[in-house]
Amino acid sequence: MNFLKSTVTIAILAASTHLSAAEVFNAKTFAMSGSGLAVSDFSYGTSLNPALGSNYDANDDFNFNLNVGVLASDQDELITKADDIVDILDQLDGKTLTQNDQQTITDLDSRLKQIDGTTATLDLGGSVEFSIPNKYLATTLFIRSNLALGITTLYKGLDSDYFDNLDLTNSPTFDADELETSVRAQGAAVVDVGLNFSTAFNLAGQKVNFGIAPKYQIVKTIDYQENIADFEEDDFDADNHSVEDENFNLDFGVQTSFGNWSVGAVLKNALENEYTIKQPVGQPTANNTLTIEPQLALGVGYKNAWLQASIDLDTNAIEDYISAQNVQFARFGAELNAWDQAALRVGYRHDLEGTYEDTISAGVGISPFDFINIDIAALYGENETYGGAIQLGMSF
């Protein structure tokens, strides 16, 4: 009955089935807090803006990159508190109780009440991209996947009644299965498989890059609830607690430069789609659908031989499934480039809706001979929010 192990296992099981599109876990953009839709190059920019497939140098012919990342928050210290409860339950389950156990029972009751409504969130992501830039129709084949998972505890007052009714003078046997406090794991996983096409047009003497990314989108919604005593990883079957569906969707982008300055815009998930959530039996909630909504973002950036800086802004708020609150981000990022052999990056992200705390990020990258690159990134925010990402890439 290892609660912590079960929590982690649920995340892994869901992620291995399909992964969503909330956060970009490309290590280069992650280090800059997801900014760069106006100024990033073709090797990593199409995840931010399809038009950036045409943002390449004359000696660029091909790029491959593999990315993985994670973002987690445990603002209520749910994992620590749950571990303590697990230790007590393991100690008591099946035990013949005596009056010496009264303090332990009281402590368990108090701890269960304290975790009521506490939450932890996990966002996992990965991607594989193959890019071939050219002046006719720059193309990127991509597979991008994300999982957003929230874990919440729900305390039941009947558990206190069970503890109160234990007559320790008669040596009762403690049965953890009598507890009704439960754990609920809710999430959404999305995998995008598609092609990114971009090309440049000359409009009144100004070079403007346009891009489109048609994609096959597989969506899996997850909603799993079980009593804390029965919340075992061996009992979890993702197929029994999820609904999978698929749809077609589109991203559009535009970008242009004025000397060292660039501006861009991107519309992601242009086609709104709604998906059903399979809820636990006897545990309905008002939130029984997941909607993937269009989102428009604008960006401005500056770039020279050694510095890149960018500011991106979501122009509309969209609902975050885990929190059921709106989110709308402003992002800032910067990169110092040392002759294309090494890079240092920093970033900052702010939620205009106040649903999530501000985060800061940083990362480093090396690219020996501008052929193979390794990039890592880390993120930190208040309320026990941590993240990281890594990229392995190759260019020639």
Instruction: Summarize pLDDT for 342-366 with one digit per residue, the tens.
Output: 999 999 999 999 888 899 999 999 9
- Around 56, how many Cα atoms within 13 Å sit in the side-chain half-sphere? 29
Total tally of structural domains belonging to the chain: 1
Strand partners, 184: 152, 225
pLDDT at position 334 is 98
Band of pLDDT at residue 243, cut at 50, 70 and 90: confident
Q: For the ranges 72-81, 209-218, 249-258, 333-342, which has the lowest average pLDDT?
A: 72-81
Mean predicted confidence (pLDDT) in 368-385: 91
Q: What is the pLDDT of residues 133-183, one digit of tens each?
A: 998 999 999 999 998 888 888 888 888 899 888 988 888 999 988 888 888
Round to whole Å and give the CA distance between 344 and 367. Answer: 12
The model carries a pTM of: 0.84
Q: For the ranges 53-57, 74-78, 267-271, which has the lowest average pLDDT?
A: 74-78
Question: Domain span at residue 219?
Answer: 3-395
Q: Which residue has the higher pLDDT, 352 or 9?
A: 352
Which range has highest mean pLDDT (131-140, 275-284, 313-322)?
131-140
CATH number for the domain spanning 111: value is 2.40.160.40
Q: What is the pLDDT of residues 104-142, one digit of tens each?
A: 999 999 999 988 888 888 899 999 999 999 989 999 999
Other Cβ atoms closer than 10 A to 265: 17
Average pLDDT, the chain: 86
pLDDT at position 1 is 46
Give the sign of the dihedral formed by CA 191, CA 197, CA 203, CA 208: positive
Band of pLDDT at residue 240, cut at 50, 70 and 90: low
In Å, what is the CA distance from 42 to each residue of 38, 63, 69, 131, 178? 11, 8, 20, 7, 58
pLDDT beyond 70 at 102: yes
pLDDT beyond 50 at 233: no
pLDDT at position 281 is 55
* SS3 call for 157: coil
Band of pLDDT at residue 231, cut at 50, 70 and 90: low
pLDDT beyond 80 at 99: yes
pLDDT beyond 80 at 284: no
Q: Where are the beta strands (DSSP E) in the chain?
A: 63-73, 119-132, 138-154, 182-203, 206-227, 242-258, 261-268, 273-276, 289-292, 295-303, 307-314, 318-320, 325-327, 329-338, 342-351, 359-366, 372-381, 385-395
Orientation angle between helical segments 78-92 and 102-114, nearest 10 degrees: 150
pLDDT at position 34 is 94
Give φ, ψ of 78 to 5 degrees: -60, -45
Percent of the chain predicted with pLDDT > 70: 88
Band of pLDDT at residue 285, cut at 50, 70 and 90: low
Contact status, residue 31 vs residue 350, Cβ threshold 8 Å: no
* SS3 call for 176: helix
Q: What is the pLDDT of residues 180-228, one digit of tens each?
A: 888 888 888 899 999 999 999 999 999 999 999 999 999 998 888 877 7
Q: Which residue has the higher pLDDT, 247 or 289?
A: 247
pLDDT at position 171 is 87
Contact status, residue 316 vs residue 328, Cβ threshold 8 Å: yes
